[in-house]
């Protein structure tokens, strides 16, 4: 039997979530919540959604629908108040990244969920694709040895379109809105936690963004590894995928993940002769990528239901995600101050 879900925030990016809820095998989308009546009218128009299932508040939606969970897709500064409303209504919460707009608000969301026995999960959907899963599996098997260093390069030049956003794209922040995906992937794929960071950010005078759309950071990992990260939303010429290009050096070889291809160049000759699930191509052993039945946001939504039913903590729980937003805000702070920032200071 499917659990009952309300979605809070159905305009903008939230509109793309509605179809996920409607097609879910684990959830029945029983209510849509938005403070903007025009967004609710659009859901009714596009999806033929019933007007009596549209609400202005979380409390009204929870009371009228008997929901179990809330999918929260509102701006980050509203994540805490909406989550608190959902907890008060007895709901578990799946929230879009970033978890919160500040570390303090993220910590309060986690603490209040724990106090009320609620599941709090963050939609870090980039983890749940075939390529990062393959890289994480290869590194976890440890036949390549420990990760010593990695280079992650992200290059795009998106011309986002959002109603009522003035020229200058004031709504968008590369580090908080985009790089957080890569920082969360670092933790999941490399199997190592960041310990400190030094970063610089720039905004060229020809940029169409208000906040700096270029960041370079050196991220120190617990255990001694280093990650060099470069992200750009104003790249000229070459573009990467949204995942970025990753080159991971280990004691016994290198993993290259770029353009949705995962390749390994091992030092041991044996692994270049035969490696199950790989094909030899151009001097590399290329991993056969097989898409899972559930990926990206579909996996996130279904996993949210499973975690509630089984009483287990999600991999991308709010508690776990505090470490991802800690790195994110440390990078942003370091870029502003020009100082090295220790992650432990954000988790205290």
pLDDT in tens, 50-90: 999 999 999 999 999 999 999 999 999 999 999 999 999 99
For 118, list phi and psi in degrees, rounded to 5: -100, 145
Q: What pLDDT, in 10s, does the model give residues 138-147?
A: 999 999 999 9
Helices (H) and strands (E) in the chain, counts: 11, 16
Cis amide bond preceding 98, omega within 30? yes
The CATH architecture to which 3-118 belongs is 3-Layer(aba) Sandwich (3.40)
Q: What is the mean pLDDT of residues 28-45?
A: 96
Q: What is the mean pLDDT of residues 323-338?
A: 97
Cα gap 307→112, rounded to integer Å: 18
- Note whether 134 and 262 are within 8 A (CB): yes
Where does the pLDDT of residue 257 fall: very low under 50, low under 70, confident under 90, or very high at 90 and above? Answer: very high
Q: What is the DSSP string of 44-83?
A: HHHH---GGGEESSHHHHHHHH--SEEEE-S-GGGHHHHH
Closest-CA residue to 183 (of 336, 291, 329): 329
Q: What pLDDT, in 10s, does the model give residues 173-201?
A: 999 999 999 999 999 999 999 999 999 99
- Note whether 200 and 235 are within 8 A (CB): no
- Indicate the CATH number for domain 127-295+329-337: 3.30.360.10
Q: Would you give the DSSP letter of residue 166?
A: P
What order do you get walking across the sheet with 261-266 strand by strand? 278-281, 284-287, 261-266, 253-258, 245-250, 147-155, 226-232, 214-221, 194-202, 341-342
Q: Would you give the DSSP letter of residue 199?
A: E
Domain boundaries, the chain: 3-118, 127-295+329-337
Where does the pLDDT of residue 166 fall: very low under 50, low under 70, confident under 90, or very high at 90 and above? Answer: very low
**How many CA within 13 A on the CB side of residue 301?**
28
Q: What pLDDT, in 10s, does the model give residues 225-256?
A: 999 999 999 999 999 999 999 999 999 999 99
Where does the pLDDT of residue 159 fall: very low under 50, low under 70, confident under 90, or very high at 90 and above? Answer: confident
Percent of the chain with pLDDT over 70: 97
Structure confidence at residue 163 (pLDDT): 52
């Amino acid at each position: 039997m499917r659990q009952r879900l309300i979605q809070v925030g159905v305009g903008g990016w939230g509109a793309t979530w509605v179809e996920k809820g409607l097609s879910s095998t684990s959830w029945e989308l029983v209510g849509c919540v938005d403070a903007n009546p025009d967004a609710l009218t659009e859901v009714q128009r596009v999806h033929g959604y019933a007007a009596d299932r549209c609400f202005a508040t979380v409390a009204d939606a929870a009371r009228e629908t008997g929901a179990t969970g809330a999918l929260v897709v509102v701006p980050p500064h509203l994540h805490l108040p909406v989550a608190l409303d959902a907890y008060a209504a007895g709901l578990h919460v799946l929230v879009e990244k970033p978890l919160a707009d500040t570390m303090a608000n993220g910590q309060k969301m986690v603490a209040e969920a724990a106090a009320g026995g609620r599941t709090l999960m963050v939609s870090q959907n980039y983890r749940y694709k075939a390529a990062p899963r393959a890289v994480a599996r290869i590194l976890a098997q440890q036949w390549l040895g420990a990760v010593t260093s990695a280079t992650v390069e992200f290059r795009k030049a998106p011309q986002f379109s959002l109603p009522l956003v003035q020229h200058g794209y004031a709504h968008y922040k590369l580090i908080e809105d985009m790089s957080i995906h890569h920082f969360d992937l670092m933790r999941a794929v490399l199997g190592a936690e960041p310990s400190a960071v030094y970063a610089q950010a720039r905004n060229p005078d020809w940029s169409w963004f208000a906040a700096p759309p270029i960041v370079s950071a050196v991220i120190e990992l617990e255990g001694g590894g280093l990650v060099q990260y470069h992200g750009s939303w104003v790249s000229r010429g070459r573009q990467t995928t949204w995942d970025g290009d990753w080159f991971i050096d280990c004691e016994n070889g290198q993993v290259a993940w770029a353009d949705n291809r995962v390749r390994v160049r091992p030092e041991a000759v044996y692994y270049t002769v035969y490696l199950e699930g790989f094909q030899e191509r151009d001097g590399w052993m290329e991993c056969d990528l097989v898409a899972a039945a559930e990926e990206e946001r579909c996996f996130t939504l279904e996993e949210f239901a499973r975690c509630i039913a089984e009483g287990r903590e999600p991999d991308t729980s709010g508690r776990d995600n505090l470490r991802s937003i800690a790195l994110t805000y440390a990078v942003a702070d370091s870029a502003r101050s020009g100082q090295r920032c220790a992650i432990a200071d954000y988790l205290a």
